[in-house]
């Protein structure tokens, strides 16, 4: 049963991430990007703790002993995710941000490549095919939505925005791979428990880092967070639910497969804008959707 559970769990995480992003966009009108990032961790922390408490109570087993490998990968993953988020936010302040965000969409490919190279995560030929095709589809969708051409991507390969975009994708890839390694380091057959432990410890670390940063650099943001507590609570709940999905799915299946399936978020967003907001779909967007869909099907058959 656990062999296919990662699929609906990943799709649940995608939905929660999409909803959380909508809440974060609302907060950007009141808070700076770093404070918005803090909200995600700070208000999600209590729910991550409650979730672990529920899993421990439900399973009837205590916490497994911690190990150095777990803490090493939690620190690597937590810091990598923060750096990747900061780079992605910084991209939007650059003139060529569209080029950079397109490169950031290669995250699933980078996860597979680094996973094979450094983390020992083997990917089959059909798995590679699904990942590459789906990433190509996401890049096509991004190009279509950003109104840039392919020559801009190739001609600006060493553009600062492109480098920052790749850096962001690399950071998210390292975070995903580290989450899986940290959760599996316990060596026990309880994916719900190990994923919940990994989530809570990582969010504690990230909350500490971000609250120190905001308190030192932009302390005026803290009272604003208090005044916006309702939206912040919404972001925290959806962030925790989404993270529960991502961490659990990555404990069950290779991080590269989970991230590749997660790319259906871009197709969902396009379908919503087309069906509900009556926006016209271009030929390139249609090609992108077909590539993402085909890549995901190939990936699921390979899993």
pLDDT at 96: 58
Is residue 175 within 8 A of residue 81, CB to CB? The reply is: yes
Cα-based torsion angle of the residue sequence 46, 47, 51, 54 in order, rounded to the nearest 10 degrees: 70
pLDDT digits (tens, 9 = 90+) for 291-303: 888 888 888 887 7
**How many percent of the chain have pLDDT more than 70?**
88
pLDDT at 148: 61
pLDDT(290) > 90: no
DSSP string across 64-99: PPP-HHHHHHHHHHHHHHHHHHHHHHHHTTSTTHHH
pLDDT digits (tens, 9 = 90+) for 24-44: 878 888 888 899 899 999 999
Across 88-106, average pLDDT: 69
DSSP string across 110-162: HHHHHHHHHS-----HHHHHHHHHHHHHHHHHHHHHHT--HHHHHHTTT-HHH
pLDDT(85) > 70: yes
Within 10 A of 219 (CB to CB), how many other CB atoms are there? 9
Across 249-274, average pLDDT: 85
Please report which confidence band the pLDDT of residue 1 belongs to, taking 50, 70 and 90 as the band edges. Answer: very low
pLDDT digits (tens, 9 = 90+) for 121-169: 888 888 899 999 988 888 887 777 666 665 555 555 556 777 888 898 9
Is residue 112 within 8 A of residue 138, CB to CB? The reply is: no
């Amino acid at each position: 049963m656990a062999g296919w559970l990662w699929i609906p769990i990943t799709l649940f995480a995608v939905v929660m991430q999409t909803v959380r992003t909508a809440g974060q966009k609302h907060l950007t009108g009141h808070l700076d990007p770093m404070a918005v990032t803090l909200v995600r961790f700070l208000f999600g922390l209590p729910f991550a703790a409650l979730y672990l408490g529920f899993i421990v109570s439900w399973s009837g087993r205590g916490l497994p002993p911690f190990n150095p490998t777990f803490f090493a990968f939690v620190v690597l993953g937590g810091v990598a995710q923060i750096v990747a988020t900061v780079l992605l936010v910084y991209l939007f302040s650059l003139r060529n941000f569209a080029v950079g965000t397109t490169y950031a969409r290669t995250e699933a490919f980078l996860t597979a490549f680094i996973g094979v190279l450094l983390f020992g995560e083997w990917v089959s030929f059909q798995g590679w095919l699904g990942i590459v095709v789906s990433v190509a589809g996401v890049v096509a969708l991004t190009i279509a939505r950003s109104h840039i051409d392919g020559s801009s991507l190739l001609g600006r390969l060493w553009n600062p925005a492109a480098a920052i975009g790749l850096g962001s994708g690399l950071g998210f890839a390292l975070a995903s791979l580290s989450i899986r390694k940290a959760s599996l380091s316990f060596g026990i057959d309880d994916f719900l428990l190990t994923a919940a432990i990994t989530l809570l410890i990582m969010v504690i670390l990230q909350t500490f880092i971000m609250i120190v940063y905001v308190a030192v650099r932009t302390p005026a943001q803290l009272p604003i967070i208090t005044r916006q507590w309702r939206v912040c609570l919404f972001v925290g709940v959806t962030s925790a639910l989404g993270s529960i999905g991502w961490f659990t799915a990555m404990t069950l299946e290779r991080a590269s497969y989970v991230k590749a399936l997660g790319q259906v978020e871009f197709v969902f967003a396009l379908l919503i804008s087309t069906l509900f907001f009556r926006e016209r779909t271009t030929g390139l967007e249609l090609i992108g959707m077909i590539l993402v869909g085909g890549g995901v099907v190939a990936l699921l058959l390979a899993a």
